[in-house]
A and B are shown apart, each in its own frame.
Chain A
């Protein structure tokens, strides 16, 4: 369905001007190769600035890569970027083109610009707004909606005028669970009825775990892993996540606790450790008995989630055990 080979893109360095600091050259996409099958929900997961948006912008014909190829349904998108618009629907991270329109007009106009005639566009608009529970907001301008509602309205616009491939750049940012569920059931329905393929950008690991068939983890422009969520989890299966929450500060006067400190990801009172099961048992025994227990508020012990994979693969960006 979609094949990417050797895709590379470097943003040029920008010389500093007064008040604007210089930025160095950034290799935002670095020799990326991907294969996405028909009907798959394929995820791109990675921290901020990993190059997810840059990658999908090249795959949607919005940006010309420095080198490499993108082929979607047999069409060469690098050579014919204009064909992308007739194959896929794209939901970008920005909504500024639709902001001043009402929800209903945004969806209808997008449908018309996707080649529907007036009657079809109105019918599909009504169906999509109804499906996503947006009918009550139909006559409100996007600018006056909450962040999550606005995102949902943009998603609605992306669905009007069916396409075999949906490219969604963080579609559920800011949405509540109800809106999220509406998004995923809309996606599922299209997949079941038309075999729609979805390329999804996210850094929400929980979402990634529940909705994606396969996921590529991106770090500084490179794909550092690509597998099913379960397959990825197996890569860190030997580890257990231990979370310790201290009442106030960590009891660093206890030598066993102090020794753990440089293997910990600290966030306020919360310490997160990734350990071998044997070690984890020892740690739990240490903190639940003896001098440390008085300072302990709560602790959890969990098998790895996709979040742990993400953190473990995240390489230099964070500490944590790289065990892939």
Chain B
């Protein structure tokens, strides 16, 4: 209950009754999808540059280290292609999945989502902007890893341009997954844990040659969104790449990306209004 004394207002201030508009007042403008996506992307990319550069180094060194270790186990052939492709995509997984899950988990727990939720911005712009920024942030690390791997294992550098398709597509799939995990996890520690697990999965299932794995692990590998990106990339190292298969793998990757970003957008909507 409250006491609202009429006439207690200072002079010049309207009372609620006088001010009550006969019909709802006009609303402010809505932010449109593309401009706000671009704004979020730009802000997130600068965020990542300020705060996450050391982590990109960690991600790259991790992948380079794995390739050096595996050098003793595999020698050339399909296995070497899988290791190089898997290690490169692992950089994407580290940043887009693991770090984005952490970011959204913390943002949600600290009340930071309130900032976006009180701005007239489409949820998709926030999720896609952040996912896109994290994915582009991985580009230098992924390229360095891929080039180093090719040199180390004597693979051709000719078709590395395929990374221009692999990074955005695998990035979309992994970033969507990471954002969804971060936004859905009930606690930020859990979001961090899920992100780490997702990355470990990408490491085990993406880098280790599938031929040596039991059936059940191979099934799990087929379910991981990054797998198709890894496969597409690995195929391009062949002397005469099978472009139809490459395209098919990338298409699957793209579809998974669209689905996982849609799930992340739904998760954001759900997390923003409690």
A residues near B (Cβ < 8 Å) are 1-3, 31-40, 57, 60-64, 73-75, 81-90, 92-98, 100-102, 105-106, 108-110, 112-118, 141, 143, 161, 163-164, 213-214, 216, 222-223, 225-228, 231
Contacts and interface: CB of A to CB of B under 8 A. Distances in A.
A115 B31 contact: yes
Interface in B2-55: 2-5, 8-10, 12-16, 18-21, 23-25, 27-32, 35-36, 39-40, 42-43, 46-47, 50-51
Contacts of A117: 35
B60 interface: no
Nearest to A94: B111
A196 B267 CA distance: 34
Contacts of A143: 50-51
B114 A62 contact: yes
* Best-surrounded residue of A88, A92, A113, A231 (most CB of chain B within 10 A): A113
Interface in B145-192: none
A54 to B, nearest CB: 11
Contact of A61 (B106, B125, B273): B273
B1 A62 contact: no
Given A87-B25, A113-B116, A226-B4, A37 B14 contact: yes
A95 to B, nearest CB: 8
A86 B118 CA distance: 8
Interface in B223-274: 272-274
22 contacts: A2-B16, A31-B1, A35-B16, A39-B13, A60-B118, A61-B117, A62-B118, A62-B273, A63-B274, A74-B20, A83-B27, A86-B30, A92-B111, A100-B47, A109-B40, A109-B42, A113-B121, A115-B120, A214-B9, A216-B2, A222-B1, A225-B3
A108 B272 CA distance: 22
Given A1-B20, A163-B28, 16 more contacts: A1-B16, A37-B9, A73-B24, A74-B25, A81-B273, A85-B120, A94-B110, A96-B111, A98-B115, A100-B50, A102-B46, A109-B40, A113-B31, A113-B121, A143-B50, A213-B13
A1 to B, nearest CB: 5
Q: Secondary structure of the B side of the interface?
A: loop
**Residue among A32, A74, A88, A118 having the largest count of chain B Cβ atoms under 10 Å:** A74
B50 A228 contact: no
B65 interface: no
Interface residues of B, number: 54
B23 A74 contact: yes
B216 to A, nearest CB: 32
A85 B27 CA distance: 9
B113 interface: yes
B77 interface: no
B119 interface: yes
B78 interface: no
B23 to A, nearest CB: 6
A39 B42 CA distance: 36
A40 B114 contact: no
A227 B21 contact: no
Contacts of B42: 105, 109
B107 interface: yes
B193 to A, nearest CB: 16
A15 B30 CA distance: 41
A94 B28 contact: no
Contacts of A64: 273-274
Contacts of A214: 8-9
A216 to B, nearest CB: 6
Lowest 4 CB-CB distances: which A-B pairs, in order?
A74-B24, A115-B29, A96-B112, A97-B115
Nearest to B52: A100
Contacts of A161: 28
Contacts of B118: 60-62, 84-85, 88-90, 92
Contacts of A112: 31, 35-36, 39
Contact of B35 (A92, A118, A225): A118
Nearest to B35: A112
Contacts of B274: 62-64
A272 B42 CA distance: 54
Contacts of B5: 226-227, 231
A227 B15 contact: no
B16 A33 contact: no
A192 to B, nearest CB: 10
Given A112-B39, A113-B31, A92 B121 contact: no
Contacts of A2: 16
A228 B8 CA distance: 7
Nearest to A115: B29
